[in-house]
Structure 1
């Protein structure tokens, strides 16, 4: 079996993907509705781009970005500060036997997309693609 050159091991299981997406949708809904008892967090519009879970589903890492990219430094800290309340809500709304420990990281996917677009707009790259 050929190894995927982008990952060190096998990719996530269907169960990990399914639970990650369920947590992503639940976090997005909770954050959009402002269900958290923290006014600093509720004033932000936060996009949850992806949630990756560990193979045992005990850790869920949410990749987040504030709408418009403003306050990136604050958003991870605010989410971490409210992690226990978010974890409780995720566990209740998702119906999971055990609510995973939530971790938060900035989602840099959009930055990479912008950089890729800039690269494809360069004249030298366009010439190579047209050849």
Structure 2
């Protein structure tokens, strides 16, 4: 079985987490200010929920979502089209020797939270969750 290069070992190192958060903030700032020379991208409001880096810090995957969830495919295309410019802008805010290659994916965490809320509101689940805990009773 091949290992996923983003999840080797016990999880991301402190350095990976720190660099990922720095990239997330820089990317969010660049997108919010509309610094990119692409009017189509600048007209969109994009949330950068998380950035994960590979162990060697050469690849940074940004998990993004357009405001309201509308135009997800368009957002990914626009970000990919402007990847080089975004990479240069983010690199100015980093103290790394090399700027990581940026990749973009849709942030699914909001969908997962909605699904979790939906499941917790189901009658069967609520009934089971509200049932008295009989563990430890003799």
Distance 1:94 1:47 in 2: 20
Partner of 1:27: 27
1:91/1:97 contact within 8 Å kept:
no
Report 1:45-64 matches (<5 A). Answer: 45-64=45-64
Unaligned runs of 5+ in 1: 1-6
SS in structure 2 opposite 1:98? coil
Report 1:61-80 matches (<5 A). Answer: 61-80=61-80
Distance 1:15 1:95 in 2: 12
Q: TM-score, normalised by structure 1?
A: 0.93
Distance 2:59 2:8 in 1: 19
1:1-24 Cα distance to aligned partner (Å, 9 max, x none):
xxxxxx663100000000000000
Following TM superposition, by how much is the alpha carbon of 1:86 offset from its aligned partner in structure 2, in angstroms? 0.4
List structure 1 segments (4+ residues) > 3 angstroms apart after TM superposition.
none
Number of equivalences: 125
Q: Would you tell me which structure has more helix in proportion to its own residues?
A: 1
1:59/1:103 contact within 8 Å kept:
yes
Q: TM-score, normalised by structure 2?
A: 0.88
For the aligned residues, what is the CA RMSD?
A: 1.0
1:30-82 Cα distance to aligned partner (Å, 9 max, x none):
00000000000000000000000000000000000001111111001100000
| 1:115 matched to 2:135 | no
